[in-house]
Amino acid sequence: MTRPRRKNPCAPWRRAVVTGGAGFLGSHLCERLLDSGVEVDCVDNLLSGSRGNVAHLVARPGFRFVEHDVCAPDCADALPGPYDLVLHFACCASPADYLRLPLETLDAGSLGTRALLALAERDGARFLLASTSEVYGDPLVHPQREDYWGNVNPVGPRSVYDESKRFAEALVTAHARALGADAGIVRLFNTYGPRMRAHDGRAVPTFVCQALAGEPLTVAGDGSQTRSLCYVDDTVDGILLVAASRSVRPVNIGGTDEVTVADIARRVLELTGSSSSVEFVARPADDPQRRRPDTRLARELLGWTPQVPWEEGIKQTIAYFAAARPAPDPLSRH
C-alpha cells in the first residue's frame, strides 16, 4: 500500500518506551518508531498482547522486548532508560479482554499510568496517554468534541475500561497542572488493521474472520449503531503528531467515515466475496449508539486528516487474516 507520507514527527526522539507494545496498535507504533531511527523498548505483560506481533522486530538494532507488568512496584527498575518519549498504551482495549480482566484493566489506567508518569518525570521525557472514544460513553453530543464530558455508566459492564481511561486522563492532567509535566492525551476512535486478533470482540476482525470462514456475520442489535473507522497507519500518524506537539489537552484521532455496524458487515461481505449470511444477535449493554469524532483540533493543530480510504484499509485487513488462516487439509473429508 503506497500513499504520501507526512513529515516525520519522530526526529526529536532518540529512545522511546512503548507500553502495550506487543499489542495490535503498540506493535505498529514500535515499528514506525524504529523505521524513523528511534530506539524502542517494547514493554508488555502479554495478557492481551502477543510476541508474534513484534517477532519481525526482535533482530532489528535498537529494539528491546521487555516482558513486564507496568503496574508492578519495580517498573522503574525494569525500565532504566533514559527515555525522551513514553507512550502508555498498556491496557485491555477489546471487550473480550476487559470483561475477562476487569481489575487488570483498572490497574493499567491507575497504577500503570502513575508509574509511567513517574518514569517520564525521572527522565524529563514527553509522556503520551492512549485514551479512547469510550470516555464519551454513549454520547448525547454528536460528533464528539474534546470538550464534551461524556455520558458514562460508572457501574455498567463496560465501566472498567471507560473509567480506567477517564481516571488516567485525570492523572495526566493533574501531573501537567501541578508538576508541569510534559504530558498529553490522545483519544482514539475505532482503529482497525493487520495484527488485530480474530476474536477480540470488535466489529472489523469479527466480521472479516466470519466471512473468510463462511460463517454468519453476527451483527449486534439491529446494526444501526455507528462507528467511525480509522486505518492503523493513519492512527499511528496522528499519535506521533500529538506526541511531537506540546499539546496537553486531549486530541481526538479517528476516522470521519461514520458507518453503521450493518454497513461494515456489508462492506466486508462485498470485499471478501463471501456468501455468508448476516445474523442479528443481542446487543451488549451500554453499547454506544453513535460514534464519530470531531477532528477539527487535530486538523488545525497538527495538520492531520485520515488518508487511507475504507476500501483500501479493509482490503489490507482481509489480506492479513486470509494469510493467517491455516491452509485446508486436501485429505480431509467434508
> pLDDT digit string (tens) for 131-141?
999 999 999 99
Q: What is the mean pLDDT of the chain?
A: 93
The 10s digit of each residue's pLDDT in 42-88 is: 999 999 999 999 999 999 999 999 999 999 999 999 999 999 999 99
pLDDT of 168 over the 50 cut:
yes
Neighbours of 146 (CB within 10 A): 18
Rounded-to-integer distance, Cα 92 and Cα 104, Å: 8
Copy the grid coordinates of residue 307: 488518508
- In the set 161, 192, 231, 320, the catalytic residue is 161
Cβ atoms within 10 Å, residue 76: 15
Phi–psi pair at 261, nearest 5 degrees: -65, -35
Q: Is 161 a catalytic residue?
A: yes
Look up residue 191 and give its three cell numbers.
482503529
Going 141 to 147 to 152 to 158, the CA torsion angle's sign is: positive
Task: With cut-offs at 50, 70 and 90, classify the pLDDT of residue 256.
Answer: confident
The string of pLDDT tens digits covering residues 106-135 is 999 999 999 999 999 999 999 999 999 999
Lowest pLDDT segment from 45-49, 266-270, 283-287: 283-287
Report the pLDDT averaged over residues 260-280. 96
Closest CA to 271 of 223, 218, 230, 212: 212
In whole angstroms, give the CA distance from residue 48 to residue 58.
19
Are 253 and 230 in contact by the 8 Å Cβ rule? The answer is yes
Burial of 316 (0-12, 13-18, 19+ CB in 10 A): middle
68 neighbors 1 (Cβ within 8 angstroms)? no
Write the pLDDT tens digit of every residue in 315-325: 999 999 999 86
pLDDT of residue 289 exceeding 70? yes
Q: What are the C-alpha distances in Å from 167 to residues 160, 254, 305, 318?
A: 11, 21, 28, 35
pLDDT tens digit sequence for 200-220: 889 999 999 999 999 999 999
- In the block, cell 471478501 appears at 272
CATH homologous superfamily, domain 15-191+230-255+290-304: NAD(P)-binding Rossmann-like Domain (3.40.50.720)
The structural domains of the chain, with segments of one domain joined by +, span 15-191+230-255+290-304
The predicted pLDDT at position 331 comes to: 37
Number of H helices, E strands in the chain: 11, 12
pLDDT classification of 103: cutoffs 50, 70, 90: very high
Residue type at 249 in one-letter notation: R
- Which pTM value belongs to this model? 0.93
Query: Hey, is 90 helix, strand or coil?
Result: coil
Q: What is the reported pLDDT for 7? A: 58
DSSP one-letter code for 194: T
Query: 173 or 311: whose pLDDT is higher?
Result: 173
Give mean pLDDT, residues 271-281: 96
- pLDDT computed for residue 201 by the predictor: 86
